[in-house]
Amino acid sequence: MNSNIFRYRDGNGNEYILTEKSRIIIEYIPVKPLFSSSGIYDGGDYIKKEITKLQYRKIISILYEAIAKKEIQIKNRVKMSGMIIIQEKGKKKVYILEPLSKEIENIEKILLEIIKN
């Protein structure tokens, strides 16, 4: 297994981190009211758990599908946009997805499904 790190930040600023080393781990780091733009939003509880290779491949596949669609990528992070960060071999690549895109919906659906089960 490699040591790439995949991060996804949703439109509210909640972060999902996927690491693949001896085990595959997903971490959900929620935004708390103090750090939300409204001062009220709460992303819930922190979650860290092991996932299967199949779940990992599914998430990575959906992330790469969004990266391949250049027409939904924007230059600057705005409210409700999604952000994919890939760290591999000491390099970091960032992709910002336009708000309300189908790709954001697909990414967040699978991530929520995995962390909630």
Q: What is the count of structural domains for the chain? A: 1
| Domain interval for residue 83 | 5-116
| 23 CB-near residues (< 8 Å, 6+ apart) | 50
The model carries a pTM of 0.91
How far apart CA 22 and CA 73 sit, in angstroms, is 33
Question: For residue 89, what pLDDT is reported?
Answer: 83
pLDDT tens readout for residues 38-91:
889 999 999 999 999 999 999 999 999 999 999 999 999 998 999 999 998 889
**CA 107 and chain centroid, separation:** 7
pLDDT tens readout for residues 9-41:
999 999 999 998 889 999 999 999 888 878 899
pLDDT tens readout for residues 88-97:
888 999 999 9
Q: How many residues does the chain have?
A: 117
β pairing state of 91-97 and 73-74: antiparallel
